Amino acid sequence: MKFYNNLTRELEEFKPINPDRVFVYSCGPTVYDVSHIGHARSCLVWDILYRYLKFKKFNIKWIRNITNIDDKIVARAKQLGISADKLSRIYTFEFWQDLARLNISWPDYEPRATDYLNQMFEFIQDLLDQGSAYAIDGDVYFRVTKHKNYGQLKGLTLDQLQEGLSRIDSNSKKESQLDFALWKNFPNEPEFSFSSPWGSGRPGWHLECSTMIKSILEENGAGETLDIHAGGDDLIHPHHENECAQSETLSGKPLAKYWMHNGMVMVNGSKMSKSEGNFFTIRELLDIYNPNTIRYFCLGTHYKKTSAFNH
């Protein structure tokens, strides 16, 4: 059994770290709206991986997170005049309903970001103590230069990544524009913030995944390294790159042995986008098509390839 490992860019035989169990982490949704056909494809791909490894008699544990605090969640909650927690609970339930109708397996763990705030504080403090992070005015940033392999998933050097920042507004607080937020200060939004050692604010998106992975592996006595980290190929950089940087700098070990990414869904020849009017939710499609038809569409193309949906 061989998988394409995006870390090495090679097809590799799958050899679990521990023959007695396999840990797989796939990035779940940010729950600020109903899920779309792209979410369906990603969840189905990693469900098939999960089922196949179980079929092959591996003792597999699948972790799929819920991002339930994020700038998009806050913006939508403000728009609707409700709390971020209420909004995220509503759309988490909608997500579960859609996946149940598509007959997608339940993961073994489904951690929510806000349940791991104390672990995030410890993670940040450990990076600060290492000198791998720095705090300014209530914000905390990770120093990308502290990760010797930064850019490994994208296959780019630090200099090449710096060149790609020309279109991005600069942040005068950061030592380098590639540095990324571990904690973001929001002192004027108490209803959408959390108390921390660095002031009222919200965690960085990348930090959430790293902390949940670390915590669940520790709970199971499974070390610091996942067997497989999975997600959409739009997450390779910066999300997965930044996960690698902070986790590997802290532990000194790889975050995952194998990195697997699924391709995106193109709608009527264009990237799916609400602004383009070609955005189809799972719920809308289930009102038109049989769930098995949607499954067949999502799995009818090699998982790494872009899938074309015409409607």
Q: How far from chain centre, in Å, is Cα 198?
A: 24
Residue 281 lies in a domain: yes
Residue 197 lies in a domain: no
Residue 121 lies in a domain: yes
Residue 138 lies in a domain: no
Query: Could you tell me the CATH number of the domain that includes residue 254?
Result: 3.40.50.620
Residue 178 lies in a domain: no
pLDDT of residue 152 exceeding 70? yes
Amino acid at 226: L
Residue 150 lies in a domain: no
pTM, rounded to two decimals = 0.95
**Each residue of 73-100: pLDDT tens digit?**
999 999 999 999 999 999 999 999 999 9
Tokens 């995944």, located at residue: 209
Give CA–CA dist 30/150, Å, rounded. Answer: 25
Residue 277 lies in a domain: yes
Backbone φ and ψ of 206, nearest 5°: -65, -40
Give CA–CA dist 172/147, Å, rounded. Answer: 22
Tokens 């940040």, located at residue: 124
- Beta carbons of 180 and 209 less than 8 angstroms apart: no
Residue 38 lies in a domain: yes
Q: What contacts 93, CB < 8 A, 6 or more positions away?
A: none
Band of pLDDT at residue 135, cut at 50, 70 and 90: very high
Overall number of domains in the chain: 1
Check residue 268 and give its pLDDT. 79
**Each residue of 255-301: pLDDT tens digit?**
999 999 999 998 877 877 665 667 789 999 999 999 999 999 999 99
Stretch 15-41: mean pLDDT, rounded? Answer: 95
Give CA–CA dist 5/258, Å, rounded. Answer: 5
Residues of the domain holding 224: 21-133+206-309
Say which range, 31-35, 74-78, 171-175, 239-243, has the weakest mean pLDDT: 171-175
pLDDT of residue 107 exceeding 90? yes
